[in-house]
Amino acid sequence: MKLHEYQAKDIFGKSGIPIPNGQLVTAVDQATKATQIISGAPWVVKAQVHAGGRGKGGGVRVVHYPYEVATATEDLLGKPLVTKQTGPEGVIVNQVLIEEGVEIDREFYLSMVIDRSSAMPAMIFSQAGGMEIEEVASKTPELILKEYIDPAVGWMPHQARNLIYGIKPPLSLGPVKTLMSIMANLYRVFTTLDCSLVEINPLAITKEGKVIALDAKMSVDPNALFRQKELLHFDDPREKDPLELMAEKYSLNYIRLDGNVGAMVNGAGLAMATMDVIKMAGAEPANFLDVGGGASESMITKGVEIILKDRRVKAILVNIFGGILRCDVLARGVVAAAKKGMIRLPLIVRLKGTNVEEGREILRNSDLQFFVAKDLAEAAELVAKQVS
Amino acid sequence: MKLHEYQAKDIFGKSGIPIPNGQLVTAVDQATKATQIISGAPWVVKAQVHAGGRGKGGGVRVVHYPYEVATATEDLLGKPLVTKQTGPEGVIVNQVLIEEGVEIDREFYLSMVIDRSSAMPAMIFSQAGGMEIEEVASKTPELILKEYIDPAVGWMPHQARNLIYGIKPPLSLGPVKTLMSIMANLYRVFTTLDCSLVEINPLAITKEGKVIALDAKMSVDPNALFRQKELLHFDDPREKDPLELMAEKYSLNYIRLDGNVGAMVNGAGLAMATMDVIKMAGAEPANFLDVGGGASESMITKGVEIILKDRRVKAILVNIFGGILRCDVLARGVVAAAKKGMIRLPLIVRLKGTNVEEGREILRNSDLQFFVAKDLAEAAELVAKQVS
Amino acid sequence: MSILVDENSRVVVQGITGREGTFHTKLMIEYGTVVAAGVTPGKGGKKVEDVPVFNTLKDAVDKEGVNVSCIFVPPPFAADAIIEAASAGLKVIVCITEGIPTLDMVKVASFLKDKDSVLIGPNCPGIISPGKTKVGIMPGPIHMQGGMAVISRSGTLTYEVVDQLTGVGLGQSTCIGIGGDPIIGTTFIDHLKWFKEDPETKGVVLIGEIGGTAEEEAAAYIRKEFNKPVIAFIAGQTAPPGRRMGHAGAIISGGQGRAEDKINALEAGGITVCMNLGNLGQTALEVMGKS
Amino acid sequence: MSILVDENSRVVVQGITGREGTFHTKLMIEYGTVVAAGVTPGKGGKKVEDVPVFNTLKDAVDKEGVNVSCIFVPPPFAADAIIEAASAGLKVIVCITEGIPTLDMVKVASFLKDKDSVLIGPNCPGIISPGKTKVGIMPGPIHMQGGMAVISRSGTLTYEVVDQLTGVGLGQSTCIGIGGDPIIGTTFIDHLKWFKEDPETKGVVLIGEIGGTAEEEAAAYIRKEFNKPVIAFIAGQTAPPGRRMGHAGAIISGGQGRAEDKINALEAGGITVCMNLGNLGQTALEVMGKS
């Protein structure tokens, strides 16, 4: 679950990680008032959307007069912001963060993630802050330092020193101490809130020598939300694709893509592989949809409905390897969707495994028009033929 | 650092470990008032001293009328309580805890310590509660169950189940759940407060099925007090030997014993071995005194003073293996004590190591009467001769 | 031969009284697996499918001598179940549970470091040595005893592959789903090492997917150390970056985890990569025929 | 030969700019120890006794190739220092610091489990291979190179013993203070195993004290596995129960840790126990003369 910058900063502020003074606004008149509370000029007006690349997309404005704060806010609010991560239609900006501007002396990068290979959390630091870390990684990898954290001992002060004393030219004692405490606090935030990512870029030193988190990215492990209930209110459904949101409600794992062949599969790996097969047959997958092992008839019906709500879809491929999910349940769900008059597109069905005969029988006995594929290779061919 | 029962229970109460209602009193009139607040009869009146064996020593009284609470309190307050751990002179009772009495159905034992061999904290549980654990250990060792706690994962629920599901006859679901939460909370108390021992004996189940800590022992790792400052006010100097308290003030490691030969040594191991040597020569050590490696002249003088405040002392053995502590510093400290007229007893000196010649020179040039031993064997002989 | 589990495995099902636990206990017994005990706290003394249930795994070990565990307990309690199994000394721990918090798995991984237990999963279909025993949720009948090993990060995708292998007459020695989570107990390399020593195993099918660098690491290992033929497939060639594709571990992020990088690494390691899932069985047959 | 440290040891002093650190750096250098670097955060670039100081141990390893650490940092920071040394890959870590919280040492012990580092101490005088190198605070001149190993839980008591050994003409291969705390990095048994393989070591003096069961465990090991003569001494025969005798680890509690139990166990293991410290050198001479 992604958090907005202002939400992450709120957590930082309460956790001993210095942040600029700022205020969230959802209307232009609030923006004008905000300038009276937040010291400036300059002010920074930042669109609050989950997509990255806001800066280059025009979602971050530095302004010098109160009326400019209002203008910038008006410019952003309610309008789509297009970044390299949003796609051409962009995302609607619903909230804007207004912050005091600071005079930056140096910019660092600081983040925490889970490192898979070592099975430990890792703290990542670079003195080349302010730019994208992927860029630093490819151009100057030696400037990226990592420390892995053993859960038995937690974050240790020497690890902070390993990161900080590599900075050239070296920092003076004040910033060293603040950085050490920021790292310790970041570790605490990461572990106590079950984060999967926390990123501060840039982590700036101001001209006055203060260390401050100018940006904040935070993602929480969705598997841990059962014990992070107080974070649930940070979830912002407006940021999600409406079809994905609907799928989430029915415990379906749906991701919208750009193609024209809808796919319904059981199992994430098989669903990915099915997308690949579609592509290889010369068509484009319109979605990833894993109905999972425990799908009921009504969930299948709902899945068909969600696939079809995407107007770009020209054909549907159902690929089920019956295991826990039985083929007859799948068939009933599809037939129920057809009865509701939803299916007016070519349907290619490939069934295998538990109760496969029963499933085929149910499909045959329905009014549904569909093609049966004996295996995956044939299914792909049939799909390609339908959309070509 | 040992805590009183009422202090430990205060911590328990705030940490989700159920305790009886109770009130600490330091005067008889408070005791009478307490009965109006604390439900009874019966009430339990418990002397608050660090020494164990209070029950058998008469320090715990169960009474049934309010006036008996007052009488019992009067009986205890300000008077010495003699237990098998106090020695014949006993310890003065300064505080009394008055608690509601509960009807006990079953009694368990629960404690946490650091297990040296595994280098992990251990939770120890026995369904044979209410008696001394050493007795259980020798008579029915199979009734003592242990779980070791890996610091990387902390206390895990299955460990609680390993302890609890061994109880015969088995407990019903309510007490099982409470016991599980008590164990988890006890672990949290132990680790967050840097305890070296926490013990609940008995941990009772009442006739109504409630689980409750009827007694509480807690010791805190003195090495961790620098980060447990809020526990410092629990320290009760009245419970300590006055000479030991004085030594503590001067960072001297002094323990009073029952013999007549005072000993001053540098290093704990050598101090223990010196005590043994005294005993083996037919005399009895009056104390353990490790002046440590960093002792100054004035600390040595103070050490001599403390040894001599013990009226039973008939001779002093100074055994120094100069390393960090130089023999000349030792000598100056001893001579300074002599100049203050403190030393009127036979003094046997055995010096070795750093600056030994200088040290001997200083002693020789003083007015001090003393015997020089060339080695430990001779020192012991000289001591024995002086006190026989 | 086969690896990790066989007819001598005495399986304990942790969470046996739950819906999934009971259902798959039945299917495992039908397959021929010796399910010797179950564990559900507070349900000790009951029976499920004639299998005795205990309150603790310790009891199950003491009374029934179980040596392999299959875990179905819900995500919040799964880490505790894995650690319980390792503490009780079980040799092989199979964790089916999907949705365990990653930081719980960090602790589990740390705990297991100096233990002898082998953890398979979590978020996996389990392990099967066809004709001998099945510890997990895979459909038994699609398997056939033989010489192919299958190691996979996926569930139904593995069934698809096994089905194709059986279809072309290639039986399996042991098939393992190592799990779709970012942190898993055993990796491709762990199992490759065991398969290397297993005389029954003649070749390996390795089924990877986007996310992480496990396939790249396996490729490097195979190039240097592994001497049996390997056929690989990578799911997610068309997956967009930054999106978690069902599995918690299947995500392209920070420039890492792309299918093409994995395919390149595998091919550089001399491994036959099957690009189209539909042809996997056929490809395997060709590779194994040559060797 | 000798164990763990010798003339090839390149020592780094952690906490070199502190009072004790500086003082003992001087003494170690005087003894002949190669003190190649020091570490004190924020003091990088300075020199102490002509030894270069670094901000981090990593730097000291990179720049000076140190392989043995000697730690003098204050108790609140000592666990961090030990873990820093182990993370940097140092082979031998000697921690002199007294007064480290026990729960810090629980974490350190857990961290070291799967590392290759050998921790000596904490709360110990260190390790010396006479004539080669001294890593610690023991007075150098009392030592003499030879065939006796000394392993001890104590400080000055060890000096007394070494002095007596040297006095009777028994030189030492390596003398180790394993530390007086409840949790220490290496035990009697760890060092006995190394001494067993050291051809220079002809016999061992084992100096125990009240508290814990380390001596009993050593006795059991010696009986089964150790084939060189051992002379033992136990301090604290007259110590009262329940009182911490200076060392955090020297306490008789819960019916454990009594001197008589240790002496009995040692004697049952065929070990010569010297009852009177005054005679230790003589006893050792007799035992070694016989063998």
Please list the pLDDT of chain D residue by residue as tens digits (291 residues).
799 999 999 999 999 999 999 999 999 999 999 999 999 999 999 999 999 999 999 999 999 999 999 999 999 999 999 999 999 999 999 999 999 999 999 999 999 999 999 999 999 999 999 999 999 999 999 999 999 999 999 999 999 999 999 999 999 999 999 999 999 999 999 999 999 999 999 999 999 999 999 999 999 999 999 999 999 999 999 999 888 888 988 888 877 899 999 999 999 999 999 999 989 999 999 999 876
Query: Where along chain C do the CATH 3.40.50.720 domains lie?
Result: 1-123
Band (pLDDT 50/70/90 cuts) for residue B123 is: very high
**Residue in A109, A147, A187, A254 annotated catalytic:** A109
Instruction: Measure Cα distances from B213 to B43, B186, B191, B200, B218 in Å.
Output: 15, 11, 19, 6, 13
Tell me the two tokens of residue B178: 């409470």
Instruction: Measure Cα distances from B253 to B354, D101, D206, D247 in Å.
Output: 22, 18, 25, 10
D35: number of Cβ within 10 Å: 27
Give chain D's end-to-end CA distance (angstroms, integer): 20
Contact call for residues A264 and A318 (beta carbons, < 8 A) = yes
Band (pLDDT 50/70/90 cuts) for residue B343 is: confident
Instruction: Measure Cα distances from D100 to A20, A153, A356, B197 in Å.
Output: 39, 15, 67, 17
B166: number of Cβ within 10 Å: 18
> Going by C-beta distance under 8 Å and a sequence separation of 6 or more, which residues neighbour residue A7?
A218, A234
Class of domain C1-123: alpha beta
Q: What is the pLDDT of residues A296-350, one digit of tens each?
A: 999 999 999 999 999 999 999 999 998 778 899 999 999 998 888 777 889 999 9
Instruction: Measure Cα distances from A325 to A335, A359, B146, C166 in Å.
Output: 16, 11, 44, 21
Query: Where along chain D do the CATH 3.40.50.261 domains lie?
Result: 138-291
What are the DSSP calls for D225-261, one per residue?
A: H--S-EEEEEE-TTPPTT---SSTT---BTTB--HHH
Identify whether B202 is preceded by a cis peptide bond (ω within 30 of 0).
yes
What pLDDT score does B338 carry? Answer: 85
Instruction: Measure Cα distances from B168 to B27, B38, B112, B318, B340 in Å.
Output: 44, 33, 22, 58, 68
Tell me the two tokens of residue D10: 């390149």
Band (pLDDT 50/70/90 cuts) for residue A14 is: very high
Average pLDDT over residues A256-276: 94
What are the DSSP calls for A258-327, one per residue?
A: SSSEEEEESSHHHHHHHHHHHHHTT--B-EEEE--TT--HHHHHHHHHHHHHSTT--EEEEEEEESSS-H
Give me the residue spans of the domains in chain A.
1-20+103-238, 21-101, 242-387
Of the candidates A101, A91, A114, the residue with the CA atom closest to the CA atom of residue A68 = A101
Q: Which residue intervals of C45-201 are DSSP H helices?
A: 57-64, 75-87, 102-112, 156-167, 188-196
Identify whether C122 is preceded by a cis peptide bond (ω within 30 of 0).
yes
Tell me the count of C-D CB pairs closer than 8 A. Answer: 4
| CA pair distance C168, B13, nearest whole angstrom | 69
Of D55, D59, D83, the CB nearest to A156: D83
Contact call for residues B323 and B354 (beta carbons, < 8 A) = yes
Contact call for residues D79 and D56 (beta carbons, < 8 A) = no
Contact call for residues C125 and C98 (beta carbons, < 8 A) = no
Q: Inter-chain contact A157–D55, Cβ cutoff 8 Å?
A: no
Q: What is the pLDDT of residues C273-286, one digit of tens each?
A: 999 998 999 999 99
Three-state DSSP state, C187: coil
Contact call for residues B63 and B43 (beta carbons, < 8 A) = yes
Three-state DSSP state, A160: helix
Beta strand C126-129 pairing with A2-3 = unpaired
Q: Which residues of B126-145 are buried (b: 16+ CB within 10 A; e: fewer)?
A: bbbbbeebeebbeeeeebeb
Rounded-to-5 percentages of helix, strand, coil across chain D: 35, 25, 40
Q: Is the pLDDT of residue A263 over 70?
A: yes
Subunits in contact with chain C (3 or more CB pairs closer than 8 Å): A, B, D
**Mean of per-residue pLDDT scores for chain B:** 93
Lowest-pLDDT choice from B243-252, B366-375, C264-273: B366-375
Of A153, A165, A173, the CB nearest to D83: A153
Q: Inter-chain contact C236–A272, Cβ cutoff 8 Å?
A: yes
Beta strand D126-129 pairing with D133-136 = antiparallel
Ramachandran region, residue C103 (left: φ > 0; alpha: ψ -120 to 50; beta: rest): alpha
Q: Is the pLDDT of residue A158 over 70?
A: yes
What is the CATH topology of the domain spanning C138-291? Rossmann fold (3.40.50)
Q: Inter-chain contact C239–A272, Cβ cutoff 8 Å?
A: yes
Q: Inter-chain contact A158–D44, Cβ cutoff 8 Å?
A: no
> Going by C-beta distance under 8 Å and a sequence separation of 6 or more, which residues neighbour residue D224?
none
Q: Is the pLDDT of residue B325 over 90?
A: no
Of B114, B269, B285, the CB nearest to D157: B269
pTM over 0.90: yes
Which residue, among B191, B223, B291, would best test binding to D if mutated, counting the most D CBs under 10 Å from its CB? B223
> Going by C-beta distance under 8 Å and a sequence separation of 6 or more, which residues neighbour residue A199?
A109, A110, A111, A112, A215, A216, A217, A218
Instruction: Measure Cα distances from B211 to B97, B108, B116, B124, D18 in Å.
Output: 20, 10, 30, 17, 52
Write out residues 23-52 of C within 8 Å (CB-CB) of A.
Answer: none
Q: What is the pLDDT of residues A210-250, one digit of tens each?
A: 999 999 999 999 999 999 999 999 999 998 889 999 999 99
The tens-digit pLDDT sequence of chain C (291 residues) is 799 999 999 999 999 999 999 999 999 999 999 999 999 999 999 999 999 999 999 999 999 999 999 999 999 999 999 999 999 999 999 999 999 999 999 999 999 999 999 999 999 999 999 999 999 999 999 999 999 999 999 999 999 999 999 999 999 999 999 999 999 999 999 999 999 999 999 999 999 999 999 999 999 999 999 999 999 999 999 999 888 888 988 888 877 899 999 999 999 999 999 999 989 999 999 999 876
> E-strand spans in B129-272?
144-148, 195-206, 211-213, 217-220, 253-256, 261-265
Q: Which residue intervals of C144-272 are DSSP H helices?
A: 156-167, 188-196, 214-225, 259-268
Q: Inter-chain contact C56–B176, Cβ cutoff 8 Å?
A: no
Q: Which residues of C154-164 are buried (b: 16+ CB within 10 A; e: fewer)?
A: bbbbbbbbbbb
Long-range contacts of A171-180 (CB under 8 A, 24+ apart): A171/A205, A172/A209, A173/D42, A174/A209, A175/A205, A175/A209, A175/A211, A176/D42, A178/A18, A178/A210, A178/A211, A179/A211
Band (pLDDT 50/70/90 cuts) for residue B253 is: very high
Tell me which chain B residues have a C-beta less than 8 angstroms from the C-beta of A153: 151
**In Å, how far is A64's CA from the nearest CA of chain C?**
35
Rounded-to-5 percentages of helix, strand, coil across chain A: 40, 25, 35
Subunits in contact with chain A (3 or more CB pairs closer than 8 Å): B, C, D
**If 0-12 CB within 10 Å is exposed, 13-18 middle and 19+ buried, where does residue B304 land?**
buried
Q: Inter-chain contact B176–C84, Cβ cutoff 8 Å?
A: no
What pLDDT score does C291 carry? Answer: 63
Q: Inter-chain contact A253–C107, Cβ cutoff 8 Å?
A: no
Sheet holding C34-39, edge to edge: C47-48, C51-54, C34-39, C10-14, C68-71, C92-95, C118-120
What type of residue sits at position B253? N
The answer to whether A152 contacts chain B (CB < 8 Å) is yes
Tell me the count of B-D CB pairs closer than 8 A. Answer: 173
Contact call for residues C271 and C219 (beta carbons, < 8 A) = yes
CA angle C196, C198, C200 (to 5 degrees): 120
Of the candidates A152, A159, A194, the residue with the CA atom closest to the CA atom of residue A180 = A159
What pLDDT score does D291 carry? Answer: 63
What pLDDT score does C242 carry? Answer: 86
Closest residue in D to B273 (Cα) is: D235
Could you tell me how far CA D221 lies from the centroid of its own chain? 19
Q: Inter-chain contact A162–D58, Cβ cutoff 8 Å?
A: yes
What are the DSSP calls for B342-366, one per residue?
A: ---S-EEEEEEETTHHHHHHHHHTS
Tell me the two tokens of residue D222: 């010696």
The answer to whether A154 contacts chain B (CB < 8 Å) is no
What is the CATH topology of the domain spanning B242-387? Rossmann fold (3.40.50)
The answer to whether C75 contacts chain A (CB < 8 Å) is yes
**In Å, how far is A161's CA from the nearest CA of chain D?**
7
SS3 per residue for B80-141: EECCCCCCCCCEECCCEEEEECCCEEEEEEEEEEEECCCCEEEEEEECCCCCCHHHHHHHCH
Among residues of chain B, what percentage have pLDDT more than 70?
100
Query: On the CB side of D268, how many CA atoms lie within 13 Å of its CA?
Result: 13
**If 0-12 CB within 10 Å is exposed, 13-18 middle and 19+ buried, where does residue B330 land?**
buried
Contact call for residues C91 and C68 (beta carbons, < 8 A) = yes
What is the CATH topology of the domain spanning A21-101? Dna Ligase; domain 1 (3.30.1490)
The answer to whether D241 contacts chain B (CB < 8 Å) is no
**In Å, how far is D65's CA from the nearest CA of chain C?**
29
State which of A80-84, B303-307, C80-84 shows the largest mean pLDDT: C80-84
What pLDDT score does A375 carry? Answer: 87
Contact call for residues A281 and A347 (beta carbons, < 8 A) = no
Which residue, among D277, D280, D282, would best test binding to B if mutated, counting the most B CBs under 10 Å from its CB? D277
The answer to whether C284 contacts chain A (CB < 8 Å) is no
Band (pLDDT 50/70/90 cuts) for residue A387 is: confident
Tell me which chain C residues have a C-beta less than 8 angstroms from the C-beta of B154: 107
**In Å, how far is B178's CA from the nearest CA of chain C?**
14
What pLDDT score does A111 carry? Answer: 97
The values of phi and psi at residue C130, to 5°, are -50, 140
**In Å, how far is D108's CA from the nearest CA of chain A?**
7
What pLDDT score does A53 carry? Answer: 85
Q: Inter-chain contact A165–D80, Cβ cutoff 8 Å?
A: no
**In Å, how far is C71's CA from the nearest CA of chain B?**
14
Tell me the two tokens of residue C233: 């497939």
What is the CATH topology of the domain spanning B1-20+103-238? D-amino Acid Aminotransferase; Chain A, domain 1 (3.30.470)
What pLDDT score does D290 carry? Answer: 72
Rounded-to-5 percentages of helix, strand, coil across chain C: 35, 25, 40
C119: number of Cβ within 10 Å: 28
* Residues composing chain B: 388
Contact call for residues A159 and A120 (beta carbons, < 8 A) = no
| CA pair distance A324, C156, nearest whole angstrom | 10
Instruction: Measure Cα distances from A82 to A57, A78, A241, A253, C127 in Å.
Output: 6, 13, 15, 26, 47
| CA pair distance B48, C72, nearest whole angstrom | 50
The β-bridge partners of D148 are: D172, D203
